[in-house]
A and B are shown apart, each in its own frame.
Chain A
Amino acid sequence: MTLKTTPERETSLSEQATLASPARRTTLKALTAGGLAAIAGGISLPFVMSPIARAVEQATGGATETTVWNSCLVNCGSRCPLRCHVVDGAIRWISTDDNNGTGSDEFGAHQVRACLRGRSARRRVYNPDRLKYPMKRVGKRGEGKFERISWDEAIRTIGDKLRHTIDTYGNEAIFYHYGSGSTGYNFGGRNACQRFLRIIGGYLNYYGTYSTAQQERAFPFTYGSDFKAHRSLSREMGNARLVVSFGYNPAETRMSGGSEIYQYSEWQQRNEVRTICVDPRYTDTMLGKEDEWIPIRPGTDAALVNAIAHVLITEDMVDQEFLDKYCVGYDEKTLPASAPPNSSYKAYILGEGPDKTVKTPDWASRITGIPVDRIVKLAREIGQTKPVFITQGWSLQRHANGEQATRTICMLALLTGNIGLPGTNNGDEPSSFAYPVPGYPPVPNKVKASIPVFLWTDAITRGREMTAAADGIQGVEQLNQPIKFIWNYSSNTLINQHSDTTRTHKVLQDDSQCEFILVIENHMTPSARYADILLPDVTNFENSDIISNGYAVGELGGPIFLSQAIKPMFECRSAYEVCSALARHLGVEEQFTEGRTYEDWLQQAYSKMRDADPELPATLDEARKIGMIKRRAPADTGIGLARFRQDPAANPLKTPSGKIEIYSEALATIAQSWTLPEGDVITPLPQYVATWEGAEDTETRKTYPLQLFGFHTKGRTHSSYHNVDVLRQAVTDAVWINPMDAAARGISTGDMVRVTSKRGEIRLVAKVTSRIMPGVAAMGEGAWYQPDSAGIDRGGCINTLTSQRPSPLAKGNPQHTNLVQIARA
C-alpha cells in the first residue's frame, strides 16, 4: 500500500498515520515468519518521517528538502516567520526565525521565534476540515449542508447577487464583515477583498474592533485622536523602578518569542524591576516573575484606582504642578468653563461630586475584594516611587463599563506625573514599533455610513432604526438600509466570536433578512456553516506576500517576505484570484488589477520599500531568502508623550484643549445628547460604574453567582488553530474555578460541567485551581460553537454565554461581563 498525497485525497495527517500503520504491521507480520533473525534485523522503520514524507520517499526513492519562508498569519498581534521544510511538494516540518541562518540571538536584534501555534501550522494546512472546492448551501442556513459547484457557477452567483444587492438596496446594504483569521495579509486576503468591494461602489463600514472597541472610542477623549502614538515601548519598563499592570498578560496574549512577552520578561528580569500585577487570574505572565499579585473582581479596576487616587490625594502624593500644567479637570482650577461645580476629578474622589461618595480604600475594598491595607500600600508605593510604568491589557476595556475602566487606569500615571519621562507610560498598553510596508493604492469607500463593529446583527434586524445618538452610527445620522449581503472573509465572527451565539444563529438563519452570505475560508468553521456560497481559500503557505510583522511587537519590527511553500491544495484559490474573477464578471477587472499580476504588485511594493529603506536587499528574491528583516525602534523614540512633556505649548495633543483631558467636555456633551438605555452611564470624568452582570449586580447573582470572563488560551489565537488536534491535546479547554467554589458544587478537576448564563448553556471540563479568585470563573475564548439539538453548546464556546448588549459609549462588545452558574453535568 502506497500513500499518495494527491490533492483529491481527503485524509488528514492523523488519518494518514492510522492508514499507514496497518500497512506496516502487515509487512512486519510477514517478516516474523522468517523467524527471530527477521525480527531482530529485518525490520526497518523510517524514524523522524511524516507519513507524507514516507510516501514521498517511497514514490521517489528519497527527495531533497528545500526551505521556503512564510509566516504565521493570525490575530495575536505578531507575525512570526515560519521556515517551511518542503520535501517533494509537501511541508515536512516547520522551523522559525534564525536571523538569516546565523543563529545569532542578541537581544534587540533577536530571533522572532514562533510560538506553539506557529510550530503546529503544518497541521492547519493538512487538516481534515480543509475546504476543497466551491460549494453552495442546500439546507437551511447554518445547517452546514452544502453541494459542490464549479468555480464558474460560484463567481456567477456571487457577482449576480452583488449586482442585485447594489441595484435593489444600494452599496450600504453590503457589509464587509469584521474578521481576523488571516491578520497581516497585505496584498492577499482582506485587503484584496476590500479593494474589490470599494471599486464596485463600496460597503457599509464598521469602526472599532472586537479587541479594543471601548479603548479606541474612549482614549481619544483623554489623549487625542492619535492616542496610540503616545504609548511607551515596553523597553521603558526596564527604566522603571516599579511596574503596575492591570489585566496585562503578554505571556498568553503576545506569545511570539520576538515580541512583547520576551521583551517584557527580559527587561523586567535583567533590571530587576519591581512588578505588581492586578488581575482576577494568576496568569502565565506572573509565575514568580511578579513581585506581587493583587487579585481583583472583574470590572472593578476603576474602583481600585479611585481608592488609590484617594490615598494619593489625602496623603499629599499628587503631582499638583504636573496636573495644573498638563491636564484639564483634576481640580476646579483647570475645569473648563462649561463644567458644573464640583465636577472635577478631585471632587469626585473626595465625595464632593454628584454621587456624594468618598472613594476611600474601605469603599473600594468591598467592591474589588482587595483588603484595605493592600490598597493603601499599593497607593503609597505608586505615590512614593519614581519612575512608575503604569500599563494595562485589553481585557478590562472589554467590559460593560470598559470605556470608563480603560481611561481610569491612566489616572495613576497622571496623578503622579509619571508621564513623558524615561521609565513611564501613560497607562495604556505598551507601544509597538510598526515598520511600514506599502499596500494597494487606496480606493475611497463611497459609502459614508459606519456602524460600531459589534452592532452588525442589529444592522441586519433593525438597520433603518439605527441612529447616531442611540447606536453610535457614524458618517450618517441614520442608516438607510439594513445589511443584505455579508462578505465574510477568513472570519469566525459570523457566529463564534460574536456574542450570544443563540441569538446570532436566529438572526442569520432567517435568509429573508440578510439575503446572502459569502464565506471565504480555509476550514469548515462554525461560521462557514452559515454561508450561502462557500469558497475554499488557499492558506498563506500556498500564497505569497510582503507584510509587516505585527501590531504588538514591542521594539522589534520589520518586513516578512512570504513565499509560496506548496502549490494551492485541492481547488483552493486566493482572495486576489477570486476578486479578479468577480471583477471580470462585473466588468471592472482593469480597475481591480490595474493590469498587474499579483507578483507585479509585490515587486512594485518592494521597489517602493527599497526607495524608503535602501539597506534592504537589492531584489525581492534576495529578501525572500532571508525571510524577515529586522528593524529596531530608534533609540530616541518610545517614551509616550515625551515631547508633550518637554513643551506642551509647542506639542499640543489632539484633544479640544490640546491638553490631557481628565474632564472631557466632548464626553459631557455626548452624555447629555445621547439616548442611553437604563443603567448605561457616560461621564466626562473616568469613573467607576457598576454595571449589569457586574460584581455588584446582586440581583442577577442570586441565580448566576459567578463572574465569568474569557482569556486568550495558548492553544488558539481566538478561534484560529482550534481544529489542530495536537493543540487541543496540549492545552485543555476548561473553565477555571476556585477550589472553594468547586468544593461547594462538588466539582473536581476534569469533571464535565454545565456553565449557564441568561443567554445559554455550554459544556466543558472544569479546572479547579487556586489561580482564579473565589467568585470568579474564567475560560479560554474561541472554542468552536457546536450546539446540540437542545441548543446546548457542546463545543464550549464562551459566546453562547455572552450578551449582545453593547457598552454605553463605544457600543462595543462587553464579552468579559458575564454572570454564570456552574454545576456538574
Chain B
Amino acid sequence: MGWNEWPLILFTVISQTAVGAFWWCCLALIGADLSSEQRQRLERNMLLLWVMMGAAFALSSFHMGSPFRAMNSMLRFGQANLSNEVVFGGAFAGLGVVYWLLCLRNASSAGVRRFVLLLSLLCSAAFLWNTISFYLMPTVPTWYTPLTPAAFILTAIMGGSALACVLFGLSGISEPWLLRNGPAVLTCIAVVAAVVVTILQATSLAGIQSDIHRATALSPDYGILMAARFALFFVALALWLSQLPRAGALSTAVCTSSIVLIMLGEMIGRGVFYALHMTVGLV
C-alpha cells in the first residue's frame, strides 16, 4: 500500500468527494424547486464542502518538502497539470466561499450568485480533470490508462453522492425523488462501475512490467485490499438503501455512516493506486 503518500490519498479522496457533492448541490440549487428555507439551509451547509477543500489542501501540503513555498506550485499555470489543478482547485473553493458569503449576507442579486455558482462549477470540473491529467504520465504505465480517470471520477460520484445525501438531509430536503433517492441509485451504479474498473485493472496489471518491476508485485495484497474496499462499499450501500423504502427524510446518521465508509473504501483504493507507481525504467 502506498500509505507513504497519505497526504495525496487524503487530498484526492476528500477533494473529489467535495467536487461530487458540489455537483449534486448545484443540481439542487439550479434544477430543483426548493423552498427558500431548504435553499438557505443548503447554501449554508455547503460550508462543509469548503472546509473539506481547505482541509484537503492543508493535508496535501504534508506531501510537499517546502510547504511554505506552496504558492510556487502555481507558477506554471497553463503549462503544468499540477499548477492547473492547484489554481482550479483554489478557484473552485474560493468561488464557493464567495458564494457562501454572498448567500449568508444576502449580499447580491440571485443572478450574480448563480453566476458565481456556475463559475465554481466550471472550476470544479477543470480541477478534477487536471488532477486526472497530472497522473496520466506516459512514463508511468500503471497510471497511464483510462482506468485512472475512471477511478477518480468514480470517487467524485460515489463519495460526492453520499456526501450530498448528508447535506440534503441536514437541509431538510427529502423531495423530489431525484434528490432523495438519486444519490443512492447513482452510487449503486458507480459501485458496479468500480467493480468493472477493478477487474479491468487487475487484468491489465499482469501485462505491465519493466525490466525491473512487475506491476503485480507492487501491491501484493491487491486482492485483499480491493475486497476490503468493496466490503466497505457494500456495507455503506446496504445501510443507505435500507433507508429508501421508508417514508420521509433519510436518516442523517445513516447517511453519515455511509459517506465515512465510502471514503474509507476510496482511501484504500487510492492507497493501492499510489502503491502501483512504477516507471517504464529504473524507478
The residues of A with any CB-CB pair to B shorter than 8 Å are 28-29, 32, 36, 39-40
Contact = CB atoms under 8 A, between A and B. Distances in A.
5 contacts: A29-B68, A32-B68, A39-B71, A39-B72, A40-B72
Interface string B67-79: 0110110000000
A28 B71 CA distance: 14
A408 B272 CA distance: 59
B72 A28 contact: no
Interface in B152-184: none
Nearest to B75: A40
The 3 closest A-B pairs by CB, nearest first: A32-B68, A36-B71, A39-B69
Contacts of A29: 68
A39 B67 CA distance: 11
Interface string B43-54: 000000000000
B25 to A, nearest CB: 32
| Most chain A CB inside 10 Å of its own CB: which residue of B66, B68, B71 | B68
Contacts of B69: 39
Q: Is the interface of B mostly helix, strand, loop or mixed?
A: helix
A28 B69 CA distance: 9
Given A28-B66, A28-B68, A39-B72, 7 more contacts: A29-B68, A32-B68, A36-B71, A39-B68, A39-B69, A39-B71, A40-B72
A770 to B, nearest CB: 15
Interface in B45-100: 66, 68-69, 71-72
B58 to A, nearest CB: 15
Contacts of B68: 28-29, 32, 39
Contacts of A32: 68
Nearest to A25: B68
Interface in B222-250: none
A40 B66 CA distance: 12
Contacts of B66: 28
A40 B68 CA distance: 11
Nearest to A30: B68
Contacts of B72: 39-40
A67 B71 CA distance: 43
Contacts of A28: 66, 68
Nearest to A35: B71
A39 B72 CA distance: 8
A796 B32 CA distance: 72
Nearest to A28: B68
Nearest to B74: A36
A29 B67 CA distance: 10
Contacts of A36: 71
A28 B72 CA distance: 14
A32 B72 CA distance: 12
A29 B68 CA distance: 7
A36 B72 CA distance: 8
A28 B68 CA distance: 8
Nearest to B69: A39
Contacts of B71: 36, 39
B207 to A, nearest CB: 23
B87 to A, nearest CB: 14
B57 to A, nearest CB: 16
A634 B71 CA distance: 67
Contacts of A40: 72
B66 to A, nearest CB: 8
A29 B69 CA distance: 10
Nearest to B68: A32
A36 B71 CA distance: 7
A40 B72 CA distance: 7
A29 B71 CA distance: 14
A751 to B, nearest CB: 15
A739 to B, nearest CB: 16
Nearest to A31: B68
A28 B67 CA distance: 11
Nearest to A43: B69
B167 to A, nearest CB: 34
